[in-house]
Amino acid sequence: MKAVIISIAITLVATSANAQNPNSKKPAIAPFQGTKEFCEFYQRSKYRVTIKSNLVAIFLIEGLDTSRVHGKIINGKLYTDDVAEKSDKNLAGKYYLLTKDMIRILNTENGDYNEYDLCK
């Protein structure tokens, strides 16, 4: 009987030692490195996105107006210093969605995302 209990205890310890730590962070995987430009379908505005390691800079170019947002990719999500994202904690990491060929930006008025594809 002691052998069975010891065997179960050893199995539990070995299993828990091999389990992944839930607090471990996923590596910051950027969808691309370098600079890409993303355009709106109607070509009214354009975003230039630069990624170096897991640091991101997003530049809006709309006519003569320009603005810049900086961010960092953490656990696969993009967290920025955008005022709209910072003002609502529920939007953290969800305001900008970035892939290798598209950037989506949340329209907080209706909850939909505006989509910008690679410029042609």
Tokens standing for residue 73: 């990719």
At residue 62 the predicted structure's pLDDT band, cuts being 50, 70 and 90, is: confident
Domain residues of the chain, as ranges? 34-118
Output the pTM of the full model: 0.72
Instruction: Report the alpha-carbon distance of residue 102 to residue 8 in Å, rounded.
Output: 51
Instruction: Identify the bridge partners of residue 14 per DSSP, sorted by sequence position.
Output: none
Phi, psi of 10 (to 5 degrees): -65, -40
Instruction: Report the alpha-carbon distance of residue 3 to residue 95 in Å, rounded.
Output: 56
CATH number of 34-118: 2.40.128
pLDDT tens per residue across span 92-112: 999 999 999 999 999 988 999
